[in-house]
Amino acid sequence: MSSIIHVQDLVKTFKIYHDHKGYLGAIRNLFDRKYDLVHAVDQINFDIHPGELVGYIGPNGAGKSTTIKMLTGLLVPTSGEVRVNGYIPWKERKTYVKHIGAVFGQRTTLWWDLPLSDSLTLLQHIYEIPDPLYKKNLAMFREILELDAFMNTPVRSLSLGQRMRADLCAAMLHDPKLVFLDEPTIGLDVVAKERIREFIQFINRERGTTILLTTHDIADVAKLCERVMIIDHGKIVFDGKLDHLLRTYGGRRFLSVQFAEIYPEPVLENADIIKMEGNNVVYSFMRDTVSASHLIHKLSESYRIADLEVNDQPIEDTIREIYEKQLLYNHNHDKKNPAS
Ligand SMILES: Nc1ncnc2c1ncn2[C@@H]1O[C@H](COP(=O)(O)OP(=O)(O)OP(=O)(O)O)[C@@H](O)[C@H]1O
Ligand SMILES: [Mg+2]
């Protein structure tokens, strides 16, 4: 199957100027302007196939938004190649945007002072959406996203959750083949997040829309994405199934035991004691090394147990460990010798 998004050796480098201050400084700036280079996106490669819903994650400043801005044609790459649905985004932006939708959670793409309904009408004209399609989509999104209560409210007065639903509607009105979502759940409460997730899933499943989703909430990815790409310091450090990522790096489990009496040192082979308070002890162990049932069996041979519980490490913690320890650098072919 051919890809709908093709990214090859993509680079975006920003120049940050340090200007000399004052009047004389202004003159110096003319011939001696100092700058630093920020390698926001540093030689990335990936392909996305039609109908995929891919999670694009990474720590703050990793290069996610910069990537999305290049894919939507808002930024021109320093070098490399981007082809989306047959277009070079920044070259053919006017026609290109009719085929894509984009939501930037950090700022709205709607007109701040206009009532939502007017913003949507304007978009119909900009995207040249035929009347029947516009009416059909608007009716559907009004219902699913529950927009009716604030259709006549100026966008600037909408709550964050309402604004996000409005932006999602605006991004989908013209039936785009592809949608770029940059933090569509940022700052929302649990219920609002869930509603947005359901909408994203609906668009992907029912319409086969290809979606690239950026988020800091790993629950978004766990719920929605089979495939995940992790970017860090401008480089893609993982691209594969979320399952695989968690199996490889998230194998840690916890066994919490309440003993029937206090034991001074209830050691257990293949498991570390990470917490001990009276007769309550928490062990940590790796899924690949030993099974929970084996550990429980061993414990009960030597000690009297009142109660116990086994838990997996939460996905959030696994991902945080990956960011913090830069575990994945070992898997990155051009960083064979991790600096840390
Ligand atoms: N217009 C710009 N001028 C200079 N530097 C920029 C510009 N835009 C982004 N950067 C820098 O590029 C790097 C990547 O930024 P980017 O916004 O892509 O990160 P991100 O992964 O989206 O982070 P976050 O999770 O915080 O949104 C950062 O170091 C940022 O400061
Ligand atoms: Mg960002």
Distance from residue 60's CA to the centre of ligand 2 (Å): 7
pLDDT of residue 335: 39
What number does CATH give the domain 251-312?
A: 3.30.70
The CA R_g of the chain, rounded to the nearest whole Å, is 25
- Write down the pLDDT at residue 315: 78
pLDDT in tens, the chain (340 residues): 689 999 999 999 999 888 888 888 888 888 877 888 999 999 999 999 999 999 999 989 999 999 999 999 999 999 999 999 999 999 988 899 999 999 999 988 899 999 999 999 999 999 999 999 999 999 999 999 999 999 999 999 999 999 999 999 999 999 999 999 999 999 999 999 999 999 999 999 999 999 999 999 888 998 999 999 999 999 998 899 988 887 777 778 999 999 999 999 999 999 999 999 999 999 999 888 899 999 999 999 999 999 999 998 877 788 877 777 665 554 444 433 333 3
Question: Phi and psi (nearest 5°) for 273?
Answer: -80, 120
Residues 6+ apart with CB under 8 A from 267: 273
Distance in angstroms (rounded) separating the CA atoms of residues 221 and 227: 9
Place of tokens 């913003």: 119
Q: Which residue among 14, 60, 180 is best mutated to probe the pocket of ligand 1, counting the most ligand atoms within 8 A of its Cβ?
A: 14
CA of 182 to the centre of ligand 2 (A): 7
| Mutate-to-test residue for ligand 1 from 10, 38, 57, 320, highest number of ligand atoms within 8 A of CB | 38
The CATH H-level superfamily of 5-247 is P-loop containing nucleotide triphosphate hydrolases (3.40.50.300)
Strand pairing report for 5-18 and 79-84: antiparallel
In this structure, the strands spanning 5-18 and 227-232 are unpaired
Q: Is 283 helix (H, G, I), strand (E, B) or coil?
A: strand
> Which residues lie near ion ligand 2 (Cβ < 5 Å)?
64-65
Cα–Cα distance measured from residue 211 to residue 98, given in angstroms and rounded to the nearest whole number: 15
Please report the atom of ligand 1 found closest to the CA of residue 106.
27
13 alpha carbon – ligand 1 mean position (Å): 10
Give the domain ranges of the chain: 5-247, 251-312
Task: Return all residues near 282 (Cβ < 8 A) that are at least 6 apart.
Answer: 254, 255, 256, 257, 273, 274, 275, 276
Angle 312-313-318 (CA atoms, 0-180°, nearest 5)? Answer: 140
Ligand 1 pocket, Cβ-based, cut-off 6 angstroms: 14, 16, 38, 40, 58, 60-66
